[in-house]
């Protein structure tokens, strides 16, 4: 038993035991107050009298009450058993004290933790320092790259200026070729002058992209500059030193051509320069392709794409020039004299290669010297009555002669096919039969080509009252000459060829004349065939021979052969619409229509409108399509009365099918011809796993070029990837153009 005063005895004392003496009074006064005494601090407490048994009873009662109160309190939760592996905390020993061994272990663990924190701090400081140092290094390298700037963009500007000038028949202002070389040299010197940080960053993946961009641009610029040196050398060789100083203009003699003679040796010497040019351009293209992309730097992407496209275009031009440099010397008689038949066609009276042959000339070229042997109206050498019978002619020419029921003549019948590689041999056989001359080739040209060559020059012929220039020649030849008296009309073509020949013999200015003749070749206003198979192969590569294209994919070529004697094609217009629905299996479901509008005035002379059927355009339209095409429907099904052939006809020519139908158009009454068909395999898979639709369109040289609209509907679910030149709305791509030259259109999806 305990007492409220501290530690009283648990039982009353024995009266017989000795008792301690009474404590002095001052000891009682200094006795410290103990916890648990009776009453509160401010209450009086009775003295403890152990000899009094009632005191012990009272103490026992108080202890019992206290134990009763404690027993009613909730017991605190007992801690669960500690896992064996759990380390004891500070003071967990059974005696409540931390042993010396555990104290040493705890101190050691604390020191290790402090050491680890220190190491982490040092590592973080080290990494931060390295990052800062790396940023400084990269920043310095980027700054050096920035100082070098974009040499490719700068050099492109000079070369683009030169290209633009030459393409427009002008010499470049100043010397852009030397300027391009200087830019490349400066950029290369700057790269060589960079410090070790530039080279170091160039070896670090990803962050080295700006450095790689500059290196690739400088390498590409160096190759483009080398190509510029080749071009400069050739310009100086062909045109002389004045060419780069604004000279070699109208009336000035140039090394490549003077006194009506082309320097074939000089042309042949271009071959190594052109081969070097192509090599440098190909190397530049490879460097441009290697330029890496940089996220969010869209200007670089534009520079790369533009430079790549321009370089590819330049390579194609250089390759064509190389072909020309190889074939032209021999074509111009470097090995032996050559004789060519020149046919002036009139496309106001349409035939396959351009028009009826209005006039002719025989040209002799010996070691580059051009001379006109003979010229005149085609009636002088043609057989108008019966044509040239008994000749072995190509199958394509024979088909038209038979089905159109025409005589085999030079002016009419031989050139119903648009393929000069078939028409040329036919002309050669007829010329041989009619004149006894053997020709080495044929040159077909129309009034547009003569106008291009004439330019601002003026010529005067006896049979026509006014001066003729490049601006009015087409109208004079194809329309106004037919207002002349009959006798003047018969003399006019021969006089025109004789006068125009002098311009061809001494073209001035040469660059502009060559540029215009190049455009005339692209637009088929000039077409050339050679009897020499090697020469013909090169002309075919240059697309100068008017042959049918052999490209894969879809194909269109509309050829108009007028079947009535008049000149109303000068007033006629074609509007072509081609709708293609691509199927999932690669087939193209095609709908083709052409509307022929005839705007011939009612009051024109009968030489233009015709005598038997005034103002009528009776057009035999021949649509060339892929050989795999499946014909479905044609409208109209019947031809106008008296036409040959009577109704729809089909034949094969080369790798193509030809569908023929005749329609008739008069003033105020347009005529429409339409076809429906399918082309299996029009869609092919690309190397990247996508699909491509390719359409090759060839054109006939007309006075009024056709208006062409193409609409291609993609297969269900297809997603368009690329359609350069097309207007896209949903899954329909539309291309609208004026058809002046052959072209290839592609859609990737």
Q: Is the pLDDT of residue 437 over 70?
A: yes
H or E stretch including 640? none
CATH no. for 338-541: 3.40.630
Q: How many CB atoms lie within 10 A of CB 592?
A: 20
Q: How far is CA 699 from CA 421, 623, 631, in A?
A: 16, 11, 22
Can you tell me the distance from the alpha carbon of 159 to that of 180, in angstroms, rounded to the nearest whole number? Answer: 7
Give the HSE-up count for residue 625: Cα atoms under 13 Å, Cβ half-sphere.
Answer: 25
- For residue 390, the model assigns a pLDDT of 94
CATH architecture of 554-748: Sandwich (2.60)
Confidence of residue 38 (pLDDT cuts 50, 70, 90): very low
Q: What is the pLDDT of residues 487-504, one digit of tens each?
A: 999 999 999 998 998 888
Residue 268 has pLDDT above 90, yes or no: yes
Reduce the DSSP state of residue 310 to 3 states and report it: helix
Residue 730: the pLDDT is 93
Q: How far apart are CA 158 and CA 151, in angstroms?
A: 11
**Where are the chain's structural domains?**
127-331, 338-541, 554-748
Q: How far apart are CA 389 and CA 410, in angstroms?
A: 12
Highest mean pLDDT among 12-21, 237-246, 618-627: 618-627
The tokens of 20 are what? 């301690």
CA 559-565-567 angle, to 5 degrees, is 70
- Structure confidence by residue, pLDDT tens digits, 702-720: 999 999 999 999 999 899 9
Strand order in the sheet with 707-713: 630-635, 671-679, 588-598, 572-582, 707-713, 732-738, 727-729
Tell me the pLDDT tens digit for each residue of 536-584: 999 999 999 999 999 999 999 999 999 999 999 999 999 999 999 999 9
Q: Please state which of the ranges 64-68, 257-261, 328-332 shows the lowest mean pLDDT.
A: 64-68
Helical axes 176-192 vs 100-148, angle rounded to 10°: 160
Closest by CA position to 340, among listed 482, 443, 444, 233: 443
In this prediction, residue 240 carries a pLDDT of: 80
> What's the pLDDT at 34?
46
Its pTM stands at 0.77
Please report, in angstroms and rounded to a whole number, the separation of the first and last CA atoms in the chain.
103
656-700 per-position pLDDT tens digit = 999 999 999 999 999 999 999 999 999 988 878 899 999 999 999
Query: Mind listing the pLDDT tens digit for each residue in 420-434?
Result: 999 999 999 999 999
User: To which H or E segment does residue 342 belong?
Assistant: strand 338-346
Q: What is the pLDDT of residues 144-195, one digit of tens each?
A: 445 555 665 666 666 676 666 666 555 666 667 677 677 766 666 666 656 5
* Tokens at 179, concatenated: 């300027």
Measured CA to CA, the distance from residue 456 to residue 476 in angstroms comes to 16
CB of 408 closer than 8 Å to CB of 391: yes
Residue 317, Cβ density class (10 Å: 0-12 exposed, 13-18 middle, ≥19 buried) = middle
């Amino acid at each position: 038993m305990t007492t409220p005063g501290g530690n009283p005895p648990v039982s009353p004392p024995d009266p017989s035991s000795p008792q301690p003496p009474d404590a002095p009074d001052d000891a009682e006064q200094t006795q410290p107050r103990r916890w648990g005494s009776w009453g509160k601090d401010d209450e009086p407490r009775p003295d403890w009298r152990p000899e009094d048994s009632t005191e012990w009873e009272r103490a026992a009662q108080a202890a019992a009450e206290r134990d009763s109160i404690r027993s009613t309190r909730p017991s605190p939760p007992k801690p669960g058993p500690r896992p064996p592996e759990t380390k004891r905390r500070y003071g967990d020993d059974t005696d409540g004290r931390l042993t010396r061994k555990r104290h040493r272990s705890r101190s050691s663990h604390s020191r290790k933790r402090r050491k680890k924190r220190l190491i982490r701090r040092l590592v973080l400081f080290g990494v931060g320092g390295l990052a800062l140092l790396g940023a400084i290094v990269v920043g310095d390298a980027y700054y050096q790259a920035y100082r070098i700037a974009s040499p490719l963009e700068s050099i492109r500007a000079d070369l683009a200026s030169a290209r633009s000038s030459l393409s427009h028949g002008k010499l470049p202002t100043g010397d852009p070729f030397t300027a391009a070389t200087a830019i490349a040299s400066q950029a290369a010197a700057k790269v060589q002058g960079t410090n070790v940080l530039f080279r170091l960053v160039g070896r670090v993946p990803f962050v080295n992209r700006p450095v790689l961009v500059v290196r690739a641009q400088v390498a590409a610029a160096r190759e483009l500059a080398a190509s510029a040196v080749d071009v400069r050398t050739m310009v100086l060789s062909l045109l002389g030193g004045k060419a780069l100083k604004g000279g070699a203009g109208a009336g000035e003699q140039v090394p490549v051509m003077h006194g009506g003679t082309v320097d074939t040796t000089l042309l042949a010497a271009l071959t190594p320069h052109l081969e070097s040019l192509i090599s440098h351009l190909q190397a530049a293209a490879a460097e441009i392709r290697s330029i890496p992309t940089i996220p969010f730097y869209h200007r670089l992407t534009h520079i790369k794409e533009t430079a790549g496209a321009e370089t590819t275009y330049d390579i194609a031009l250089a390759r064509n020039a190389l072909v020309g440099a190889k074939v032209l010397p021999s074509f111009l008689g470097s090995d032996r004299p050559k004789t060519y038949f020149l046919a002036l066609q009139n496309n106001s009276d349409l035939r396959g290669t351009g028009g009826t042959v209005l006039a002719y000339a025989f040209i002799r070229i010996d070691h580059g010297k051009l001379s006109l042997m003979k010229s005149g109206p085609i009636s002088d050498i043609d057989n108008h009555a019966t044509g040239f019978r008994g000749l072995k002619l190509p199958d394509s020419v024979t088909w038209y002669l038979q089905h159109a029921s025409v005589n085999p003549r030079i002016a009419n019948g031989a050139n119903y096919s648009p393929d000069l590689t078939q028409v040329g041999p036919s002309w050669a056989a007829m010329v041989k039969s009619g004149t006894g001359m053997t020709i080495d080739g044929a040159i077909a040209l129309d009034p547009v080509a003569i106008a291009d060559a004439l330019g601002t020059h003026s010529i005067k012929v006896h049979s026509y009252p006014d001066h003729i220039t490049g601006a009015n020649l087409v109208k004079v030849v194809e329309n106004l000459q037919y207002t002349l008296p009959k006798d003047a009309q018969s003399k006019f073509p021969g006089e025109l060829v004789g006068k125009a020949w002098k311009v061809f013999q001494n073209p001035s200015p040469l660059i502009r004349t060559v540029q215009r003749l190049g455009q005339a070749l692209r637009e088929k206003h000039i077409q050339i065939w050679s009897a020499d198979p090697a020469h013909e192969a090169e002309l075919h590569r240059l697309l100068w021979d008017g042959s049918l294209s052999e490209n894969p994919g879809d194909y269109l070529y509309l050829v108009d052969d007028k079947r009535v004697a008049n000149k109303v094609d000068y007033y006629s217009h074609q509007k072509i619409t081609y709708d293609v629905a691509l199927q999932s299996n690669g087939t193209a479901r095609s709908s083709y229509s052409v509307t022929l509008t005839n705007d011939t005035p009612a009051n024109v002379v009968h030489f233009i409108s015709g005598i038997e059927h005034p103002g009528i355009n009776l057009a035999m339209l021949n649509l060339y399509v892929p050989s795999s095409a499946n014909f479905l429907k044609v409208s109209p099904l019947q031809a106008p009365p008296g036409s040959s052939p009577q109704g729809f006809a089909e034949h094969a020519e080369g790798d193509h099918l030809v569908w023929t139908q005749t329609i008739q158009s008069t003033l105020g009454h347009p005529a429409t011809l339409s076809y429906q068909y399918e082309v299996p395999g029009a869609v092919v898979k690309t190397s990247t796993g996508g699909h491509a639709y390719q359409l090759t369109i060839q054109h006939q040289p007309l006075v009024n070029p056709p208006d062409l609209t193409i609409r291609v509907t993609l297969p269900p679910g297809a997603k368009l990837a690329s359609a350069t030149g097309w207007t896209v709305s949903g899954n329909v791509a539309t291309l609208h153009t004026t058809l002046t030259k052959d072209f290839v259109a592609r859609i990737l999806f």
